[in-house]
Structure 1
Amino acid sequence: MLSKGINPTGQPVMKEQGVKMWKKLDWRDYIVYLAFIGVIIYFSISLHDEGFTSTENILNIVRQTAMISIMGVAMTFVISTGEIDLSVGSTTALASLMAALALQAGFGVIGGLAAGLATGIVVGLINGLLITKVVIPSFLVTLGMMGIVKGLAMWITDTAPVPILDPTFNFVFGSGDLGPIPILLVWTLLATVLAHVVLRKTSFGRQTLATGGNESAAKFSGVKTNRIKLWVFLATGLAAGFAGVLYAGRMQAGRFTFGEGDELSVIAAVILGGTSLFGGIGTVIGTLIGSLMIGTINNGLIIMGLDVSQQMMVKGLIILLAVAFGKKAINK
Structure 2
Amino acid sequence: MLKNYKLFNATILISTVLLALPSCTTTKAESTSKESEDAKIEAVSVSNFKKEVENMNITLVSAPDAPMAGSPFAKPFVVSVKDNDGNPYSNYTLSVKVPTGKNDGVIEYETIEAVTDENGRVSYKPSTFPTSMNAVITFSPEIPFNSSTNQKLAKAVSLEVPCRVRFALVKKSILVNLVDYDQKGKMIVDSGITSSNLVGEFWRAGYPYQAQNADFHKQIDAGSAAVYARAKEMVQGSTYYKYIVYGKVKYASDIKEVEGGYSLSLTGTVTVIDWTTGKDIYTVTKTSTVVDKNKWAVYKACQTQLAKDLCNDLVYSM
Select the structure of larger CA radius of gyration.
2
TM-score (norm 2): 0.23
TM-score (norm 1): 0.22
Bigger helix share: 1
Greater RCO (CA < 8 Å, at least 6 residues apart): 1
